[in-house]
């Protein structure tokens, strides 16, 4: 075997060994190209100055080494499951290929990889033209010309043989054989962190910009991106956050890697400007926008909205969510977040604000459905039936008429106009015919409104109503819903019968059990009602169960137990302190008793507050 062949083999094996060692090191963690890129990320070292005679490696051999390294590290073939990421990857590759066409060395098979890790704020090149670009770095760019300058820099490291020689130097200077690379304690990372000399970095800057210019880009891109890095530098080292990164939320500490591996931006700018002047390149030429920037801005807006929401800043979250849905009108979760934030920030203006955003954004109906539901629910919980009706009706017009929205239209109609509600509901159904599941749920509400108007009493044939979608569980749910309407109409015996008629085995569902208990306690059968409510044997139920238990205990004269149960329910859901909401959901006699418990709970809270203040005052005075 010739010396040259041996050298190449050693290189190949070393490359594989290095990668193997890396993968071993991060065994069972996600395999990403990141650690490898730390290796090739350039740092300012003078290692190349050690005089070593290097064996010439042919283009074919270099391609082979690069491809092997990339393959071993899972860089080929490139697949991005997320269609947005695939688009970004294709864009980076497209710009890269435009530049690579102007590289000096022919025959290198350039390949461009996109690493969607936001924490990877860097780019790197492997021998043979394997170039990786990290999302964290891409997010900091504003123009395609800036991207071209950085890609050109990486291509230049390959084109000027910096990469392949780096590998050769490393192996030779350490007299590394096949065994040697394994013998190193902290193998690959340590070796490759040494990177390129400042001269080579600046050479890559200038050569890269040259390629970008020939490919039609503005010379301003290279300079401006360095200026931005210079501005970001203090933030990366723990200083004040810059507006750019504050908006984008880039993990700033990751930027340090970039700064460690490159000469200071000021020096790079100097060298670039000198070259631009010497060559007479046009730095005044207009730059092209970065085609994928909108995607990053959209994601940044969504991230910001979620972060503010989690931090409890409802006003900020509402504003950010508004921007986020403008940029991502198809994202149902963002619409939902917008509705939540608006409701929490100021419910009085929330419905008008939400409607104006929907109108302005012209989103698909499907994306906003859950948001309409969320806000409708909040309005209903506030006890404002008229506003609930307005908003839910607007939602019917804008969406496919989801079942929950229909239900809120029905109950808010019932609360605002019990007698006339049925007459108003029918025309709405004709205007926006309910489909799917809404179809049979709406049929129950329509019948319920008839009951409330005192016109109908015959119960529905649920098999017929549900047709092909019939299940016993659904029948139980629909009967509970129907029973609620009867209870609201004061038809307590009928409500009891309806709730009790749920198919055997599923008649224990919570909603039916609650209506049974409510009907029975209104009929004066308090003990039976309590027994019904706690049929499951548990005293710890959801807040509605605890509140209803409180009501029955109150009526049984167990005032202490009632107060405790009510406190617990109101603590879990503050709607129990809202008499307007209670009146819209429960019978008048139940509401009257709840009113007394609310009063008791308010008194208790007031007393507790005073005691806390007294204790606080005592602590303060004893400290003095
Ligand atoms: Zn470099």
Q: How far is the CA of 247 from the centre of ligand 1 (A)?
A: 27
Q: How far is the CA of 205 from the centre of ligand 1 (A)?
A: 8
Q: How far is the CA of 109 from the centre of ligand 1 (A)?
A: 19
Please report the sign of the dihedral spanned by the C-alpha atoms of residue 584, residue 589, residue 594, residue 599: positive
Tally of CB atoms within 10 A around 169: 17
Q: How far is the CA of 227 from the centre of ligand 1 (A)?
A: 17
Tally of CB atoms within 10 A around 550: 27
Residues of the chain with pLDDT under 70: 1-54, 72-79, 171, 173-195, 239-252, 363-364, 504-508, 536-541, 624
Rounded Cα distance, 500 and 508, in Å: 9
Q: Are the beta carbons of 381 and 585 closer than 8 angstroms?
A: no
Instruction: For 350-399, write each residue's pLDDT tens digit.
Output: 999 999 998 887 766 788 999 999 999 999 999 999 999 999 999 998 88
Q: What are phi and psi of 134, to 5 degrees?
A: -90, 145
Tally of CB atoms within 10 A around 126: 32
16 CA to centre of own chain:
38
pLDDT at 51: 57
Q: How far is the CA of 321 from the centre of ligand 1 (A)?
A: 39
Q: How far is the CA of 200 from the centre of ligand 1 (A)?
A: 7
Q: How far is the CA of 249 from the centre of ligand 1 (A)?
A: 25
Q: How far is the CA of 425 from the centre of ligand 1 (A)?
A: 70
Q: How far is the CA of 432 from the centre of ligand 1 (A)?
A: 62
pLDDT at 180: 39
pLDDT at 16: 39
Q: How far is the CA of 132 from the centre of ligand 1 (A)?
A: 12
Q: How far is the CA of 204 from the centre of ligand 1 (A)?
A: 6
**DSSP secondary structure code for residue 29 in this structure:** S
DSSP 142-209: -BHHHHHHHHHHHHHHHHTTHHHHHHHHHHHHTT--TTHHHH-SSHHHHHHTT---HHHHHHHHHHHH
Q: How far is the CA of 114 from the centre of ligand 1 (A)?
A: 17
Residue 275: CB partners within 8 Å, gap ≥ 6? 206, 209, 281
Q: How far is the CA of 68 from the centre of ligand 1 (A)?
A: 22
Q: How far is the CA of 156 from the centre of ligand 1 (A)?
A: 8
Q: Are the beta carbons of 134 and 254 closer than 8 angstroms?
A: no
Q: How far is the CA of 199 from the centre of ligand 1 (A)?
A: 10
| Side-chain-facing half-sphere of 196: CA atoms under 13 Å | 28
Q: How far is the CA of 91 from the centre of ligand 1 (A)?
A: 21
Q: How far is the CA of 263 from the centre of ligand 1 (A)?
A: 9
Residues paired with residue 125 on neighbouring β-strands, in sequence order = 131
Q: How far is the CA of 106 from the centre of ligand 1 (A)?
A: 21
Q: How far is the CA of 342 from the centre of ligand 1 (A)?
A: 48
Q: How far is the CA of 5 from the centre of ligand 1 (A)?
A: 29
Which residues are found with C-beta within 5 Å of the ion, ligand 1? 42, 201, 204
pLDDT at 75: 65
pLDDT at 29: 32
Rounded Cα distance, 344 and 447, in Å: 34
Instruction: For 146-191, write each residue's pLDDT tens digit.
Output: 999 999 999 999 999 988 887 777 767 666 543 333 343 333 333 4
Q: How far is the CA of 295 from the centre of ligand 1 (A)?
A: 27
């Amino acid at each position: 075997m010739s010396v040259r062949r041996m050298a190449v083999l050693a290189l190949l094996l070393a490359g594989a060994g290095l990668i193997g060692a890396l993968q071993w090191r991060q065994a069972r963690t996600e395999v990403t190209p990141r650690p490898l890129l730390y290796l090739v990320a350039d740092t300012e070292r003078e290692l190349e100055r050690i005089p070593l005679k290097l064996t010439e490696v042919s283009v074919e051999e270099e391609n082979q080494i690069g491809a092997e390294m990339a393959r071993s590290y899972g860089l080929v073939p490139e697949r991005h499951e997320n269609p947005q990421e695939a688009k970004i990857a294709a864009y980076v590759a497209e710009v890269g290929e435009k530049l690579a066409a102007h590289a000096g060395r022919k025959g290198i098979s350039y390949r461009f990889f996109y690493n969607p890790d936001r924490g990877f704020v860097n780019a790197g090149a492997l021998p043979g033209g394997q170039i990786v670009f990290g999302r964290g770095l891409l997010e900091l760019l504003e123009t395609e010309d800036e991207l071209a300058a950085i890609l050109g820099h990486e291509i230049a490291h390959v084109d000027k043989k910096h990469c392949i020689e780096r590998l050769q130097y490393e192996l030779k200077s350490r007299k590394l054989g096949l065994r040697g690379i394994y013998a190193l304690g902290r193998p690959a990372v340590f070796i490759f962190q040494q990177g390129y000399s400042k001269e080579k970095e600046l050479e890559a800057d200038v050569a890269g910009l040259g390629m970008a210019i020939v490919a039609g880009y503005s010379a301003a891109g290279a300079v401006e991106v360095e200026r931005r890095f210079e501005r970001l530098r203090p933030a990366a080292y723990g200083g004040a956050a810059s507006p750019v990164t504050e908006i984008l939320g880039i993990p700033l500490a990751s930027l340090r890697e970039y700064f460690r591996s490159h000469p200071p931006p000021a020096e790079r700018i100097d060298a670039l400007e000198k070259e631009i002047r010497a060559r007479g390149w046009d730095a005044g030429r207009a730059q092209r926008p970065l085609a994928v920037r909108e995607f990053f801005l959209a994601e940044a807006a969504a991230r910001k909205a979620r972060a503010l929401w989690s931090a409890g800043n409802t006003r900020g979250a509402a504003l950010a969510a508004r921007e986020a849905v403008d940029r991502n009108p198809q994202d149902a979760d963002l619409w939902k977040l917008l509705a939540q934030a608006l409701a929490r920030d100021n419910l009085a203006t929330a419905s008008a604000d939400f409607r104006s955003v929907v109108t302005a954004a012209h989103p698909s109906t499907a994306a906003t459905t859950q948001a309409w539901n969320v806000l409708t629910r909040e309005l209903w919980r506030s006890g404002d039936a008229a506003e609930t009706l307005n908003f839910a009706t607007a939602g019917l017009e804008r969406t496919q008429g989801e079942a929950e929205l229909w239900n809120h239209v029905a109950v808010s109609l019932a609360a605002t106009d019990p007698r006339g509600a049925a007459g108003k509901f029918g025309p709405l159904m004709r205007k926006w015919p309910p489909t799917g599941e809404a179809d049979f749920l709406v049929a129950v509400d329509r019948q319920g409104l008839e009951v409330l108007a005192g016109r109908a009493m015959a119960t529905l044939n649920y098999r017929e109503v549900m047709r092909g979608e019939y299940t016993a569980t659904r029948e139980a749910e629909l009967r509970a819903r129907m029973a609620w309407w009867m209870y609201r109409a004061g038809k307590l015996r009928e409500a009891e019968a309806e709730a009790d008629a749920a198919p055997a085995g599923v008649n224990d569902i919570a909603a039916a059990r609650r209506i049974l208990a409510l009907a029975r306690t209104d009929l004066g059968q308090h003990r039976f009602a309590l027994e019904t409510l706690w049929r499951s044997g548990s005293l710890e139920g959801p807040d509605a169960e605890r509140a209803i238990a409180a009501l029955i205990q109150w009526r049984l004269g167990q005032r202490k137990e009632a107060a405790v149960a009510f406190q617990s329910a109101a603590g879990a859901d503050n709607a129990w302190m809202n008499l307007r909401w209670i009146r819209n959901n429960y019978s008048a006699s139940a509401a009257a008793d709840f009113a007394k418990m609310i009063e008791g709970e308010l008194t208790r809270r007031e007393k507790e507050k005073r005691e806390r203040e007294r204790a606080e005052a005592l602590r303060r005075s004893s400290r003095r």
